Amino acid sequence: MPISTEITNTTFANLRGPLQDMYKRSSPLWMALDAKAKMPAEGGSLIERSFAGAAPAFGVGLFVGDEVLDLTRRQEIRRFQVEPHRIAAAINIPKKELLYNTGKLAVMKLIEEYPKQVVQSATSDLNSYLVQGVSRGLLFQTAELAGFLTLNGQNSTGRGTGIANGLLDFQTPALQTDTVQSVVKSNTYFHFNQYQDITAWNTNGMFRLRQVYRACAHYSDSNSGPDVVIMDDETYGNFEQSKLAAVEIRLVEDKTEKSAMLAQSLGLAKVYSDIDIDLATNFTGVALDGVTYMLNTDYIEFPMHEPPTISDFKERLGDQDVMTAVWAMQGQLIFTKFPVHGAVSGGRL
């Protein structure tokens, strides 16, 4: 008998969970955040996190013993604010195709062709936007994802409260002045990211990477350095070659990660190549010669107002002869502390 809405939803019920969670395995950052339970459920029109640039008090040295305490309460508490973004896509299966097919195996084939392709395209677009501020355009155009934060600090086209500018700048802390997560960057109250430039890989490539890694670790509460490092593929190739020369290579492929990514190590961090990073098209200045992000996921969250969800299929009563389900998600990336993260330009040459 032809496939009905009930048969489709019954069969799809067993596959909905893995498809909805596919985004968790789409990038090293999502995998790390998921492993550390850094994707909490949250509500409200804004996602807010407080941070202190200095203690809310003034201390006094007691040399004689009768010094007067300074009772001034210094206002050094600031608040990151970002607006959650929502995206959605309709998954339409033409009834004409449903009538061509019968049985559960046919349903599985249609699910492979429609819901799975939609979810895979969504995760690819999200990863591309995360690392460079530009979508692949498989499902969502760049303008549709502009409500999410991107790691690329050169991006300034975000839409929404606290979203206008990307997170990690490719310039020294003293020159970082963009408003990021609703707070103006400044090294006077520790709202900046670490940064160094590699002039040539063979000259100071590994030195600069280790330098930024140590700087990030210095500002961590536990002196732990970044645990996820993402590079453009050419910079990663030079990094990998240097590691191979030291006879150290590791294949990351354990059961918990469900990943077959080739990763190297830098300190305690896993270093990954990301082919979505298009230097010539989406970066300028010093970043044209290579991009490296160093991330400490102890200080990153992706609060979810709605985790990626696929609804049941329903028959459309409108102008299309299709059966429709909706994939949707709502949330936002937020850094809870900035000096523990770093960016490095150069490295591909």
What 8-state DSSP symbol labels residue 348? -
pLDDT of 163: 97
One-letter amino acid for residue 83 of the chain? E
For 131-154, how does the pLDDT look when each residue is reduced to its tens digit (9 = 90+)?
A: 999 999 999 999 999 999 999 999
State the pLDDT at residue 38.
95
Residues 6 or more apart from 228 whose CB is under 8 A from it? 28, 29, 32, 269, 270, 272, 294, 295, 297
- pLDDT at site 233: 96
> What does the pLDDT look like over 213-259, one tens digit per residue?
999 999 998 778 999 999 999 999 999 999 887 654 455 555 444 44
Residue 286's domain spans which residues? 5-52+80-345
329: in domain: yes
State the Cα–Cα distance between residues 75 and 57, nearest whole angstrom.
8
CA atoms of 310 and 78, how far apart (whole Å): 37
Q: Is residue 86 part of a domain?
A: yes
**For 101-110, 128-137, 237-246, 309-318, which range has the lowest pLDDT when averaged over its residues?**
101-110
Q: Token pair for residue 92?
A: 């339409």
Residue 296 lies in a domain: yes
pLDDT band at 66 (very low <50, low <70, confident <90, very high): confident
- Please report the pLDDT score of residue 109 as a whole number: 80
Query: Does any domain span residue 75?
Result: no
DSSP one-letter code for 30:
H
Is 261 a residue whose pLDDT tops 70? no
**Alpha-carbon torsion (300, 79, 308, 160), positive or negative:** negative
Q: Is residue 231 part of a domain?
A: yes
The per-residue pLDDT for 257 is: 47
Question: Does 113 fall in a domain?
Answer: yes
pTM: 0.89
Picking from 100, 93, 92, the residue whose alpha carbon sits closest to that of residue 2 is: 100
Q: Which residue has the higher pLDDT, 118 or 258?
A: 118
Helices (H), 222-263: 233-245
CB–CB of 165/335 below 8 Å?
Answer: no
- How many separate domains does the chain show? 1
Domain CATH code at residue 176: 3.90.1690
- Is residue 106 in some structural domain? yes
Q: What is the distance between the terminal CA atoms of the chain, rounded to a whole angstrom? A: 62
Question: Is residue 45, in this structure, part of any structural domain at all?
Answer: yes
**Sequence-ordered strand ranges (E) for the chain:** 47-52, 77-82, 85-94, 179-180, 183-184, 194-197, 228-231, 250-251, 262-266, 269-273, 291-295, 300-301, 304-310, 314-315, 322-331, 334-335, 342-345
Sign of the alpha-carbon dihedral angle for 89, 94, 97, 98: positive
**Residue 317 confidence (pLDDT) above 80:** no
Nearest to 291 by CA among 216, 184, 225, 209: 209
**% residues pLDDT > 70 (the chain):** 90
